[in-house]
Structure 1
């Protein structure tokens, strides 16, 4: 009898040890066009984000996180490859990320993870509503996704291996979050770790399309705009902000639902939960809208990292300069996995855990080719720049363009470029920028030279058309040869 009891307790001990040493899960919540400044915990007194505010209290808040190329497809491609845009080639929207790329999903899959993707993809380049076969899903198995849509209330997707298009039953962020909850319930019974991405299309414009319940919350609320919104843009900015905030509060409820599901299923302790965005939104700041430009409202994104098993549940604000290519290696570092040689980003995991001093002084921002919502006709231009903990320095093809002291001028109202009083700062940042570009093998040429190098077809605005037609409006039937795509 004693021998049997010993055997039982030994087996239970082994099971307990196995459960404790299980690799951490990952739930990555990626939203579209949510700037870092527009969250309750970041100081916005109008927007209602109670779940994110609570999550921030129990997470690492990497409040200096930068979207190095602040536009949809480039961010996503850098996120899942750990590479800079001139390496993976996705420096514009609506082009194909090479299906042979070494990606985060393929890497985790090799380590025994179940991989899943729900929502907006935007890395396939075969038209925004086209079916994406398994061979182009970059290692994600569970699949409920569409290339791109911002029709949030009639949002379509493909599921599994079926080429039959389906429609989310409600406002897509809500329906997609409910699918995440179902997935988490199923995974709580599995011995395999999982890596799940949910990519939500809002709060990207159109702004006035959140469910009525959320729009009503901001209908009669006084909107406080940022100090850098010009007077002539205020009326439009206020109207758009009401819708922008409505989307945000809807998403906040979704985040709360998914986080609660992790707790309910006993997964919260050993799951790395990330909340972030692909880029920000100018929303009238500097008289501009949307993204791509090198201003704070465009490049700065939220990044909350919740991992109780390692960091506990006491929130901490960190000023590390995390950039998009750094996310993949940092997650791999936190899960004690080897970083592939193809990855160019830095692994910040040792800095986050306090094992290593933060030695990153600058991080790179760029626009290889202006397009879409920021074409040359609206001032679009190629640029390269550096962001430090205090300054933003940017060059275009003509030379130094912008220099802001973000500490003393948080709204970037005064361009200090070429001024005598900051000559030494500008010189240091110029030298550091040249060093960074040399390391990245970035010759900083005209955008059209890179378009030609990667064999992308563009229209008269120098934008890759996202419909399955060329710039003359002629339908293209053979996507393998006739549609803009990455041929490298």
Structure 2
């Protein structure tokens, strides 16, 4: 059984990011792009993409310059944000799997401590059927307008009370719902927590910037000018569109006079789609840097001093950092992979404990947002039972034992500046070692040149992998 309590104490003076007193707790907005790589921003020196709003935000933010998604695909990373744990611990080893309701989510913890909570945009860590224990409404969100997976033009959404189709661009509608939520509750007696998960820049890339100068011809010549295939034009247009929506949010906060007491934390769910601009080796789907490294900005005007921090961190760190700020305490907290970043942001800590990554142990599961929600809506309107009873719970009540001799997939152990890769496919194992400070593109494998370091990190990685198996088998819930 989950038991969540809230503790109320005075503001400590040691760091700006410390537990806040009940009447001074900030509003919190977590914003996430879908498939935007580290290098896909103007402020990260992309050769042509236009992100003026993110560039402006970066000048006013803590820029986490060595920030990683917990996984190289969407669903697992979202589970890490919700729980502070590596996603395989939560039953989300790949896209389309369901996060177990045994987990305590950041929304549940903040809701219990007095926040009003809302989820807007992409979900992809459970069902959106209200009766499912994996829907947003069952894991801590008071209000929600949610798509199952990526969506684009004229999307179908699930919401508290039913299903709806809205006309317009999915990313714009997602921000519309976020701003409506903030307007509704800004004068209330509870601080606000919103999760805004854009569907962009995931394919099919049919969204376009709104009233952007020269949008009709924007990125028309990327192949001849930059050597990037022209079919990626829609991808970059969607990045510019979501950039506009971030600008809308920041302006709305200022117009509502709540910007100074609101944290906006922006990041992406995995590396980008274009390896040439991913900011590292490879791209989405890979455990190499290009599949994991993503942009990350934390803006809290008047409280956080703008700065750039190169200490590694990842999406699992969002949960413990935010809960500390909000003074929300989770009783019987299962093991976390995330750490509170307050000491790092304050400058009192320069190193982060090692980070584990693991992907490909098992395959993903396809989820077609519009067609599923459309069918659910039509069934409800006709008074018929759900056409997808199997989607209510999937395998969330199963706790199979894992074969401890099978570490299938691609795992990595980052203990800065070292990054060890363990790649197991078809029963064959390959180990690679890189020094990221000297070799950020992971080109020079040092595993044979430094066998002592390789074996030390491999031992630590396997110990962590076994702990992940323990969690996945349900031992954390006993």
TM-score higher than 0.5: yes
Task: Work out whether 1:318 is the aligned partner of 2:318.
Answer: no
Query: Are residues 327 and 393 of structure 1, via their aligned partners in 2, closer, same or farther at CA, if it must alter by over 3 Å?
Result: same
Unaligned residue ranges in structure 2 (runs of 5+): 1-19, 367-407
1:142, 1:433 → 2: CA distance?
A: 44
Query: Are residues 208 and 219 of structure 1, via their aligned partners in 2, closer, same or farther at CA, if it must alter by over 3 Å?
Result: farther
Task: Work out whether 1:160 is the aligned partner of 2:185.
Answer: no
1:84-483 matches, cutoff 5 A = 84-124=86-126, 126=127, 131-133=129-131, 135-136=133-134, 137=136, 138-150=139-151, 152-162=152-162, 165-207=163-205, 209-210=207-208, 214=215, 216-221=217-222, 237-284=228-275, 291-312=284-305, 315-340=306-331, 341-354=333-346, 356-360=348-352, 362-372=354-364, 382-397=409-424, 398-412=428-442, 414-420=443-449, 423=450, 427-439=452-464, 441-442=466-467
Residues 207 and 240 in structure 1, CA contact (< 8 A), matched pair in contact too: no
**SS of the residue 2:189 aligns to:** coil
2:246, 2:171 → 1: CA distance?
A: 10
Residues 89 and 469 in structure 2, CA contact (< 8 A), matched pair in contact too: no
1:339, 1:215 → 2: CA distance?
A: 50
Query: Are residues 197 and 261 of structure 1, via their aligned partners in 2, closer, same or farther at CA, if it must alter by over 3 Å?
Result: same
Query: Are residues 273 and 209 of structure 1, via their aligned partners in 2, closer, same or farther at CA, if it must alter by over 3 Å?
Result: closer
1:342, 1:70 → 2: CA distance?
A: 23
Query: Are residues 134 and 268 of structure 1, via their aligned partners in 2, closer, same or farther at CA, if it must alter by over 3 Å?
Result: farther
Cα-Cα RMSD: 3.2
Q: Deviations over 1:450-481 (max 9, x none)?
A: 8xx79xxxxxxxxxxxxxxxxxxxxxxxxxxx
Q: Deviations over 1:208-248 (max 9, x none)?
A: 543586463111356765xxxxxxxx5xx422432221110
CA displacement at 1:284 relative to structure 2: 4.2
Q: Deviations over 1:113-132 (max 9, x none)?
A: 001001110011x5xxx634
**SS of the residue 2:243 aligns to:** helix
CA displacement at 1:308 relative to structure 2: 2.1
Aligned partner (choices 63, 66, 72) of residue 64 of structure 1:
66
CA displacement at 1:389 relative to structure 2: 4.1
Q: When you count helix as a share of all residues, which structure comes out higher? A: 1
1:317, 1:284 → 2: CA distance?
A: 24
2:222, 2:423 → 1: CA distance?
A: 40
Query: Are residues 295 and 84 of structure 1, via their aligned partners in 2, closer, same or farther at CA, if it must alter by over 3 Å?
Result: same
1:310, 1:133 → 2: CA distance?
A: 40
1:349, 1:365 → 2: CA distance?
A: 19
TM-score in terms of structure 2 length: 0.76
**Which residue number in structure 1 is paired with residue 369 of structure 2?**
none
Residues 208 and 215 in structure 1, CA contact (< 8 A), matched pair in contact too: no
1:418, 1:80 → 2: CA distance?
A: 35
**SS of the residue 1:184 aligns to:** helix
**Which residue number in structure 1 is paired with residue 371 of structure 2?**
none
1:38, 1:432 → 2: CA distance?
A: 31
**Which residue number in structure 2 is paired with residue 74 of structure 1?**
76
2:55, 2:203 → 1: CA distance?
A: 23
Unaligned residue ranges in structure 1 (runs of 5+): 1-17, 226-233, 375-380, 455-486
TM-score in terms of structure 1 length: 0.75
CA displacement at 1:65 relative to structure 2: 1.0
Residues 359 and 409 in structure 2, CA contact (< 8 A), matched pair in contact too: yes
1:221, 1:176 → 2: CA distance?
A: 29
Query: Are residues 88 and 444 of structure 1, via their aligned partners in 2, closer, same or farther at CA, if it must alter by over 3 Å?
Result: closer
Residues 223 and 241 in structure 1, CA contact (< 8 A), matched pair in contact too: no
1:21-60 matches, cutoff 5 A = 21-60=23-62
Q: Deviations over 1:50-72 (max 9, x none)?
A: 11001011000111111232211
Query: Are residues 39 and 299 of structure 1, via their aligned partners in 2, closer, same or farther at CA, if it must alter by over 3 Å?
Result: same
Residues 74 and 92 in structure 1, CA contact (< 8 A), matched pair in contact too: yes
CA displacement at 1:148 relative to structure 2: 1.3
**Which residue number in structure 2 is paired with residue 14 of structure 1?**
none
Stretch deviating more after TM superposition (344-353 or 197-206): 344-353
